[in-house]
């Protein structure tokens, strides 16, 4: 049903329907923010990425053509933006090492991302995965992307992607140390 | 449950961030503004043929009325009656330009769609006014959406008066303002017949296949009925007065799955030199309409085309494409184009170092190195040479001269040109433009040094931070360069 709705949204969006854009935005804002947060573990950067993704998407307007899934398209856009962000801020990333920063520290009182305690712990665990594994895990579980599509995005074989996914889950299980069983 | 599954479920269900209300609203404002700016506010015919994307292609595919109508005149070859008409269809452009005002009324129909209860979708009215003398325009646009909740018809109106444009949406009731530069306004005046033709014919090149299919009297006027089919499955009909060639009526038709042709748009009334009602071109929001911005905060309309995103996988990284083009009398084309990373456009400065007048084009990420006619043939080849570049707000625009290596086909200004490109950068090699139209049509033909200064140098100045065109670039120098390129070098 969601896919059927997305096809309709794509169709309407191409025709400049603002309601369709608003619906796409409402529907995918949180999931894309979650994906960006998971990849960056930095609220401000995640917001910037999501902002850029949606604004760029809105600008496509009548020129927009997409055969695949909308969620996959947006998720891929987020990943590419994140990669770009990392590339541009490589120096800062190196300075702060790979240590996961608690995302909550920069949350403002009224205008920021809110999230549950458990989400924070999960995110911190995800943040400690190597980039490639983190991308695979998040794209698979948060964006419902197929391994085949993730392989295309990462430009590796599907076996490599499945391996990254398996290793990523193993590491998460180890890091979370039974927490998920609660 | 296996541990792996539990981790998967936790990530799926418990790793979730929610945007706060203020953040959500702020982002939404930017997103909606971006969409507003990307929206074409051009005349549109609509209806069941909505898939033809007339709004996008109507004006874009009309390059030169004069040239197209020259082609259309060839359609007389197909004249199926024993006597030739007393007019030339080529007079249409002149009709439009010589009129003081043009008023068009009619209806959009939606024969390919039905309401959930099976009834017909109500038609949508058309009421377009053009003040030819002052290039003021008011026209109706219609959009159709269909989904589980049935079919919705959205009607908007666009009013253009000088540099200010207003789009009026009726559901919900609101207006939004746009602004064009003085140059853009002048260009609009210069191409008024193109605008009107665009409203009435859509892809005017389809007239090249027109044949006369009948005759009919409309309000006592004996008319010839011309008809042509386009490649998108549409059919166009025009009723031209048999004695004067004046356009009296026009229709768009769509072919249903049943094979039956149905009228999608009917311009049933076309009047010339009628005084528009007072307030027709008013830019004041009607009572009950909310202004989403003001003339002072109007969104600026870019000159020429905006670049299309270059895709890398499913994401975009670079914008590239034509900006605008002008033809020269010798068949050469002056084309402004761009290819830049919107997040890092300034980096391009180095790519323009050392480029010289008449030399190779700069090696931008995507380089539009040549043009070919967009008519299915690949000849002649128009090879690009650097003329100049301009820079505005951190973005670079390359201005190239594209010189054909043979005789241009007669209909090339109507069909336009396909832009051939090469990928110069590693990242650009993964781009695909499969879903985008990499074509360009010249605005019109530049015939004199004065026109070159006004339109070509004017466009360059428009796309420069300091508002001036590159120095020492003249019509004669460009014509001489084209001639030099055409002349084979002696061995």
Angle, helix A18-40 to helix A70-88, in steps of 10 degrees: 50
Q: Calculate how close chain B gets to A3, using CA atoms only, in Å.
A: 13
The residues, ordered by sequence, that sit 6+ positions from B113 with a Cβ below 8 Å of its Cβ are B48, B121, B144, B146, B151
Name the residue facing A55 among B10, B30, B147 (closest C-beta): B30
- For the beta carbon of residue B336, count every other beta carbon within 10 angstroms: 26
Is B313 within 8 Å of A76 when comparing Cβ atoms? yes
pLDDT for the residue numbered A163: 87
**Residues of chain B neighbouring A126 (CB-CB closer than 8 A):** 11, 15
| Stretch (H or E) spanning B30 | helix B21-38
| End-to-end CA, chain A | 32
Query: Among candidates B347, B439, B359, B344, which has minimal Cα distance to B399?
Result: B359
3-class DSSP state of B395? strand
Can you name the residues that pair with B56 across neighbouring β-strands?
none
The residue among B299 and B175 whose pLDDT is bigger is B175
Domain boundaries, chain A: 2-181
Domain range list for chain B: 42-300, 308-486
CATH class of B42-300: mainly beta
B21 touches chain A (CB under 8 A): yes
State whether A114 and B308 contact (CB < 8 Å): no
Count CB-CB contacts under 10 A for residue A182: 9
* Residue ranges of A 52-91 with Cβ closer than 8 A to chain B: 54-63, 65-66, 68, 72-73, 76-77, 79-81, 84, 88
CB B380 within 8 A of CB B416: no
Q: What is the pLDDT of residues B476-487, one digit of tens each?
A: 999 999 999 987
The total of other beta-carbon atoms located within 10 Å of residue B477's CB is: 14
Buried b (16+ CB within 10 A) or exposed e, B146-161: beeeebebbbbbbbbb
ipTM: 0.73
Contact B390, B396 (CB under 8 A): yes
* Total-model pTM: 0.56
Minimal-distance CA residue of chain A relative to B30: A55
- Residue B204: alpha-carbon gap to chain centroid: 12
Below-70 pLDDT ranges, chain A? 1-4, 62-63, 65, 88-120, 177-182
Contact B34/A58, CB-based, under 8 Å? yes
Q: How confident is the model at residue B347 (pLDDT cuts 50, 70, 90)?
A: confident
Interchain contact, B14 vs A60, CB within 8 Å? no
Q: Per residue in B52-102, pLDDT tens?
A: 332 233 223 322 222 222 222 322 222 333 345 666 555 666 677 788 899
d(CA A124, CA A119): 8
Q: Does B34 touch chain A (CB under 8 A)?
A: yes
């Amino acid at each position: 049903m969601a896919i059927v709705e997305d096809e309709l949204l794509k169709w309407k969006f191409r025709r400049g329907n603002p309601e369709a854009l608003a619906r796409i935005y409402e529907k995918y804002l949180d999931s894309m923010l979650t994906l960006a947060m998971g990849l960056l573990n930095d609220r401000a950067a995640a917001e910037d990425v999501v902002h850029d993704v949606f604004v760029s998407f809105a600008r496509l307007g009548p020129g927009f053509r997409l055969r695949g899934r909308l969620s996959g398209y947006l998720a891929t856009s987020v990943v590419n933006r994140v990669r770009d962000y990392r590339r541009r801020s490589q120096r800062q990333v190196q300075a702060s090492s790979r240590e996961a920063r608690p995302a909550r520290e920069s949350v403002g009182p009224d205008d920021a991302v809110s999230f549950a305690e458990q989400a924070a712990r999960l995110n911190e665990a995800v943040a400690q995965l190597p980039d490639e594994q983190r991308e695979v895990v998040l794209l698979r579980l948060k964006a419902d992307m197929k391994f085949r599509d993730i392989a295309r995005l990462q430009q590796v074989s599907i076996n490599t992607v499945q391996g990254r996914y398996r290793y990523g889950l193993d590491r998460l299980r180890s890091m979370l140390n039974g927490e998920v069983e609660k | 449950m296996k541990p792996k599954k539990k981790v998967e479920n936790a990530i799926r269900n418990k790793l979730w961030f929610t945007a706060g209300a203020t953040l959500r609203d702020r982002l939404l404002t930017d997103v909606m503004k971006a969409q507003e700016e990307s929206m074409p506010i051009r005349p549109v015919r609509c209806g069941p043929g909505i898939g033809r994307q007339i709004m996008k292609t109507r004006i874009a595919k009309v390059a030169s009325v004069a040239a197209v109508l020259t082609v259309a005149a060839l359609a007389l070859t197909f004249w199926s009656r024993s006597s030739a008409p007393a007019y030339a269809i080529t007079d249409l452009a002149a009709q439009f330009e010589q009129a003081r005002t043009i008023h068009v009324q009619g209806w959009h129909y939606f024969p390919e769609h039905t309401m959930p209860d099976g009834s017909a979708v109500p038609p949508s009215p058309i009421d377009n006014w053009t003040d030819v003398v002052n290039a003021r325009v008011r026209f109706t646009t219609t959009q159709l959406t269909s989904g589980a909740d049935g079919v919705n018809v959205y009607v908007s109106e666009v009013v253009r008066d000088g540099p200010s444009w207003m789009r009026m949406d009726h559901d919900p009731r609101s207006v939004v303002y746009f602004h064009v530069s003085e140059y853009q306004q002048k260009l609009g005046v210069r191409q008024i017949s193109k605008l009107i033709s665009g409203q009435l014919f859509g892809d005017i090149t389809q007239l090249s296949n027109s044949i006369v299919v009948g005759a009919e009297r409309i309000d006592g006027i004996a008319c010839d009925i011309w008809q042509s089919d386009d490649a998108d499955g549409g059919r166009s009909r025009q009723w031209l007065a048999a004695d004067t060639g004046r356009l009296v009526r026009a229709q768009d038709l769509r072919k249903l799955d049943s094979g039956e042709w149905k009228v999608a748009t009917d311009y049933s009334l076309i009047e010339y030199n009628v005084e528009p009602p007072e307030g027709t071109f008013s830019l004041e929001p009607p009572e009950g309409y909310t202004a989403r911005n003001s003339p002072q905060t109007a969104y600026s309309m870019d000159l020429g085309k905006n670049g299309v995103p270059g895709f890398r996988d499913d994401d975009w990284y670079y914008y590239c494409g034509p900006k605008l083009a002008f033809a020269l009398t010798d068949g050469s084309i002056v084309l402004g184009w761009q290819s830049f990373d919107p997040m890092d456009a300034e980096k391009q400065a180095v790519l323009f170092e050392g480029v010289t007048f008449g030399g190779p084009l700069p090696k931008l990420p995507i380089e539009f190195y040549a043009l070919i006619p967009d008519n299915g043939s690949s000849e002649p080849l128009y090879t690009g040479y650097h003329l100049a570049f301009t820079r505005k707000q951190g973005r670079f625009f390359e201005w190239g001269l594209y010189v054909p290596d043979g005789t241009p086909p007669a209909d090339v200004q109507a069909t336009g040109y396909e832009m051939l490109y090469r990928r110069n950068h590693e990242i650009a090699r993964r781009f695909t433009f499969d879903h985008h139209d990499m074509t360009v049509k010249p605005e019109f033909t530049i015939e004199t040094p004065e026109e070159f200064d006004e339109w070509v140098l004017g466009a360059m100045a428009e796309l420069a931070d300091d508002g001036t065109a590159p120095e020492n670039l003249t019509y004669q120098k460009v014509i001489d360069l084209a001639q030099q390129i055409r002349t084979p070098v002696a061995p």
